[in-house]
Chain A
Amino acid sequence: MTPAGDLESSGDAARPAASPAEAYAAVAAAFREEAGHLTATLVRSMGDFDLAEESVQEAVLQALEHWPREGIPKRPSAWLLTVARRRALNRISRDARHAGKLAQLAWEPAPEPDDRLQLIFTCCHPALRREGQVALTLRAVFGFTTGEIARALVASEDAVAQRIVRAKRKIVSAGIPYRMPSPEELPDQLPEVLAVLYLLFNEGHLATAGSGWRRDLSEDALWLTGLLCRLLRGEPEALGLLALMRLNLARAAGRFTTNGDLVKLADQNRSLWNRDAIREAVALIERAAAMRRLGPYQVEAAIAACHAEAPTFESTDWPQVIALYDLLLELAPSPVVRLNRALAVWQLAGAQAALRQLDDLAGELDDYHIYHAARGELLSEMGREEQSRAARLRALSLTHNQAERALLRQRLLM
């Protein structure tokens, strides 16, 4: 009998999965849609974040074991909720301190307006460390197991478990509430959520294929950003981030060779880019702009759109790109943005001008591999091969990403 046996026998028959890969994809999609709902439902009915999140986790582990073998249940959420609630009941009945919660759990939770937002804002509360926010969002909102988080973030399982424990302990001891931020608090708290989503998206975006089953962080982050846009209407920065992610994905097919090696923007085959997806993303940017509250994600999306809409690398509207970087520097100054601006200056005003701007950033970006890779390119164009080689070697020593290392090695051989 399966953990949710009563559901199976009540005629809710499972559909057998065709292949393990298909089963895993279906499991991932079901978790993405259901795990956050479930955790939110349980937190609301029990008022205990820790217990809710652990119960859902155990249900997820059960599902990982049963679904690939027996097929995805017709109603994955009901299956997961049944198992999670049973786990919670077991835990509570063993623990007298929770006695009062038994009654609450016995009720079938009434359908409520989507309370996943509250869950997201709790997981990304500014009082939590960024690494804790990321791990907790993956765990509570997406239902990732500790092992999956560790693989996705290239960290050890112990480290991930630690981060989650620390974050949950802080939620309880510091009194971080389970609630939506008020309109006055939203400007403080929404950027935290968007930063976590963008970080997750980028972790997935640079990852190479292969090495068995791995949930696609980019897909998960994109999905959640879309959900955020639907639930928080009138937030142009959420739309801006969604557009930015879509633009990056629309160009994904050109970013890697069939071997999984990275291709530089100038060398990408632009016929591989998804033109329909690019048009849709540009429409999102326009929708956000109409709300007349400019923010860094909207500007970054506009820059990405400049690249995505150019038919060739040479015909990119570089003056427009530079103007947008200037705007971005006003909204969110950072050395990495100045580096990217300098690379646009390279196309417009030549390597010499760009290198001067890069030299100003040496102190701040010495540990950033892209900085040294960019210097390598500039120096090489100027015929300073010795220095170029040194910069590229430095870049190689600073990144562990396989695709990036391959590209850098190839540049060193040229």
Chain B
Amino acid sequence: MKYILLFCGTRDDPRPASSPEDVQRTYAEVGAWLSRHGSRIGSIHQLQPPDTATTVLFERQRPPIVKDGPFLEGKELVGGYCEIDVANLDEALEMARTWPGRTRAVEIRPVVPHELPRELDRS
């Protein structure tokens, strides 16, 4: 089954100022995680911060509106995502549990297994 792991956080996460060594170590741990799970990972991306986002809003009977900023308006933000292909939820959970990056939460979302007709994409 395909899942997307969403690496989530909040805007006001208390982050201790990290030393260059800490950053290096986290990168090394993420690298080890990637090589351990490499065969299950389709793609993985870190996203630029939410203030770099641009959103296109669709409202009924109106032309799309382009808005500055992310769609999620609360404190929550998505910092990155990873597409994985594993046997079941427990395997996805095992990957998420061992994720070494500095994230508040990893949300696991199953991917709809078939391709939707384009006109249904927005319903």
State the A residues within 8 Å of B (CB).
125, 127, 173-177, 179, 181, 185
Contact = CB atoms under 8 A, between A and B. Distances in A.
Contacts of B1: 175
Minimum-distance CB pairs A-B, first 6:
A177-B88, A175-B1, A175-B89, A175-B88, A176-B89, A174-B110
B110 A173 contact: yes
A177 B87 CA distance: 8
A193 to B, nearest CB: 15
Specify the main secondary structure of chain A where it touches its partner.
Answer: loop
Interface of B: 1, 3, 87-90, 92-94, 108, 110
A175 B94 CA distance: 14
Contacts of A181: 90
Contacts, number: 25
5 contacts: A175-B1, A175-B3, A175-B89, A176-B88, A179-B88
A175 B3 CA distance: 10
B90 A174 contact: no
Nearest to B97: A188
A185 B95 CA distance: 12
B112 to A, nearest CB: 9
B116 to A, nearest CB: 15
B90 A177 contact: yes
Contacts of A127: 89, 93
Given A175-B89, A179-B90, 8 more contacts: A173-B110, A174-B89, A174-B110, A175-B110, A176-B90, A177-B89, A179-B88, A185-B90
A173 B3 CA distance: 11
Contacts of B90: 176-177, 179, 181, 185
B64 to A, nearest CB: 30
Contacts of A174: 89, 108, 110
Nearest to B88: A177
